[in-house]
Amino acid sequence: MTHWIGLTGGIGSGKSTVANLFSSRHGIPIIDTDEISHSLTSNNGIAIPLLKEEFGGDFIDVFGNLKRDKMRRAILQDSSIKKILEYLLHPLILREVKRQQLEIKSCYGFVVVPLLLEVVEFQKIIERILLIDCSEEIQIERIQNRNKLTYIEAKSLLSIQSSREQRLSIADDIIDNYTSIDSLLYQIDDLHQFYLRYFHYDGN
């Protein structure tokens, strides 16, 4: 039986970095809901007809992909669009997560879910919550660099997510991702040993 941990954090907190390090250093399986969402909305993915019907063809490019930049800016202008998008995608994402969970055999694994606090259904398929935490200033800087957004746009993206305090309130475990890479690696290795003990892994 694989024990599943929800790995979450605000945009720009470093969730993917931490997940990839757990995978590369310790062989821990990762199910990334962002990757699943990307697949559903790329190259005529199964969510494309739903999105096209709801938002119109202007949000789909000639190759059948969701225009993510256009959708991101639409959400910044109207937060209700975010709720509609999540309503359409979350059931499809959850179904794929459950399918992948059935195929994975390991002591423990991670389901990377940015909106874990907001989506109760995802909380039902995990046993613990690992929060990747950092300051808002670092998040904004990372969002600007990654998504080519202005400071105001990056801050607006943060404002439509759960607050740092709200995420901290549900976390079982926390990794601080705002200092050095050595500190990050130490925390990952230490948590890995903790999870092996917590889930009573005997190496078989």
Q: What is the pLDDT of residues 5-28, one digit of tens each?
A: 999 998 888 999 999 999 999 999
pLDDT band at 163 (very low <50, low <70, confident <90, very high): confident
What value, to the nearest 5°, has the Cα angle with vertex 137 and ends 82 and 129?
Answer: 60
This prediction has a pTM of 0.90
Q: Where are the domains of the chain?
A: 1-29+104-198, 35-100
Distance (Å, rounded) from C-alpha 179 to C-alpha 163?
A: 21
Fold observed for domain 1-29+104-198: Rossmann fold (3.40.50)
pLDDT of residue 119: 85
Residue 59 and residue 70 in contact, taking contact as beta carbons nearer than 8 Å: yes
Distance (Å, rounded) from C-alpha 58 to C-alpha 75?
A: 15
**pLDDT: is 117 or 171 the higher one?**
171
pLDDT of residue 77: 87
- Write out pLDDT tens, residues 129-160: 999 998 888 888 888 888 788 888 888 888 87
